[in-house]
A and B are shown apart, each in its own frame.
Chain A
Amino acid sequence: MQRHLISAADLTRDDAVLILDTAEEMARVADRPIKKLPTLRGRTVVNLFFEDSTRTRISFEAAEKRLSADVINFTAKGSSVSKGESLKDTAQTLEAMGVDAVVIRHSASGAPYRLATSGWIDAAVVNAGDGTHQHPTQALLDAFTMRRRLVGRDAGLGKDLDGRRITLVGDILHSRVARSNVDLLHTLGAEVTLVAPPTLLPVGVETWPCEVSYDLDSTLPKSDAVMLLRVQRERMNAAFFPTEREYSRRYGLDGDRMAKMPDHAIVMHPGPMVRGMEITAEVADSDRCTVVEQVTNGVSIRMAVLYLLLGGNEPAVSHARPTEEK
């Protein structure tokens, strides 16, 4: 792994499997009476959120605290259009306070990359979602959830998602979750299909390592997991699709459509869900829907990422070293 986690595309297959395996061990901490490890004692992590996201912030915060890191939350609320100087100045101010890692959420695509490469700060940078670019820990927790459900909790250790058929449905164009997932799932050997109305697919998608379809019904029987992406109602006003009703009729997942999926197939959603739009209540509340698991797994994945980035004197290399001293 590199010193930062900016894009799912930066992870090798072995890096990704190491993170998933590490997360499995982290998950077991949650079952213990004392859900805390001393690993990052004395390290300071700042959650630098320029964009509202209570869910992601809380997930990172829980992960940081379980690893005993000191946590500073910085929420620049409403400054999503803030000028760049404020990103640079804010980051430098925080680093002057002795921060070891910056977990950043920003509405501008590339802001974490800039933070990591511009020479503004020395701290490790973890991308918690940037614009419509990347959200690598989301992709990792999604892959973790898929591996558990489709390969097995213990049986999955050391394994990737070779040959699993994953379908992503919805607003691909504006989705950092989709970009991260396409990159990571491809790296892990899965076969990815994107399903969306043509207006919600980016120009250039044909070069991505995945298939593209406009037809959800024909894709469902060939899917081991179907991930629905949130479709914001505002998109309607920009003529990406005519009406909410038409969108959900063509691309929403309801009980009838879910019945076309193989028995073992799961339904995923990064949240927050828009019930009645991309997913019906019946599907959202069914046993096949992993939304709540994904939230739980998010903490384990973020613990794993923070441990592998900050737990040693340098980030973990592709294969972690065996213990030597006794």
Chain B
Amino acid sequence: MDKQQNARPVLEGPDIARVLTRIAHEIVERAKGADDVVLLGIPTRGVFLARRLADKLEQITERKMPVGSLDITMYRDDLRMHPPRALARTEIPGDGIDGRLVVLVDDVLFSGRTIRAALDALNDIGRPRAVQLAVLVDRGHRELPIRADYVGKNLPTSLRETVKVQLAEEDGRDTVLLGAKPAAPGAHP
């Protein structure tokens, strides 16, 4: 991955830990003890965030928290705009999702199309009691009627900016970077 030009951190490691703790408490509160919660992270970084949230929820509730992953690649609506992408793992916890409260976890909420694809994917796997969404950053610019239930940070951005989440498990450190999109070659100014 290219080093982004002039990228500046908007969340650092301790901030990320703090907002995840807050989200965990909000989940327990809103889900009334989180008895039937299943966390499903959307690969790649959503999965790490889901695991971290699960750890925090286990500390709060002192119960084992089911956590898994939901790859949405095959459900994307822009498949034909790119070469085929490598598939990531879908791992549904043993007891499944039927009748449970599924909390989808992703790093950045942007157009909402990923979440639409995730809802379709869930549909082929089972029938949850309800579905909620937790994201680390909501950068706006929704293209579909979708909103998050738990937001780590609302980050107003312009479309010329990029938001990049880095997590220790994948990138070696925790940070959220806001940068400028490099000018596309041949694009009109």
Is B84 in contact with A326, judged by CB distance below 8 angstroms? no
Given A32-B125, A326-B111, A326-B114: A308 and B84 interface contact (C-beta under 8 Å): yes
CB closest chain-A residue, reference B91: A28
Number of A-B contacts (CB under 8 A): 84
Is B86 in contact with A18, judged by CB distance below 8 angstroms? yes
Q: Which of B33-41, B58-66, B71-79 contacts A (4 or more CB under 8 A)?
A: B71-79
Complex CA gap A177/B106 in Å reads 44
User: Does A131 touch B at the CB level, under 8 Å?
Assistant: no
User: Does B29 touch A at the CB level, under 8 Å?
Assistant: no
User: Does B20 touch A at the CB level, under 8 Å?
Assistant: no
Complex CA gap A90/B106 in Å reads 48
Q: Report B95-139 CB contacts with A as 1/0, cut-off 8 Å.
A: 000000000001111110110000010011110000000000000
Residues of A contacting B111 with CB < 8 Å? 325-326
Q: What distance in Å separates the Cβ of B144 from its nearest Cβ neighbour in chain A?
A: 12
User: Does B188 touch A at the CB level, under 8 Å?
Assistant: no
User: Does B3 touch A at the CB level, under 8 Å?
Assistant: no
Is A39 in contact with B125, judged by CB distance below 8 angstroms? no
CB closest chain-A residue, reference B162: A324
Q: How many interface residues does chain B have, given as a range? A: 20 to 34
Q: What distance in Å separates the Cβ of A69 from its nearest Cβ neighbour in chain B?
A: 13
Given A25-B90, A34-B124: A315 and B108 interface contact (C-beta under 8 Å): no
Residues of A contacting B126 with CB < 8 Å? 33
CB closest chain-B residue, reference A35: B124
Is B83 in contact with A22, judged by CB distance below 8 angstroms? no
Residues of A contacting B74 with CB < 8 Å? 37-39, 307, 311
Q: Which residues of B contact A (CB under 8 A)?
A: 44, 71, 73-75, 78-90, 106-111, 113-114, 120, 123-126
Q: Which residues of A contact B (CB under 8 A)?
A: 18, 21-22, 25-26, 28, 32-34, 36-39, 307-309, 311-317, 319-323, 325-326
23 contacts between A and B (CB under 8 A): A21-B87, A22-B87, A25-B87, A25-B89, A26-B87, A28-B90, A34-B124, A311-B74, A311-B79, A312-B79, A312-B81, A312-B83, A313-B83, A314-B83, A315-B83, A317-B83, A320-B84, A320-B85, A320-B86, A321-B83, A323-B44, A325-B113, A326-B106
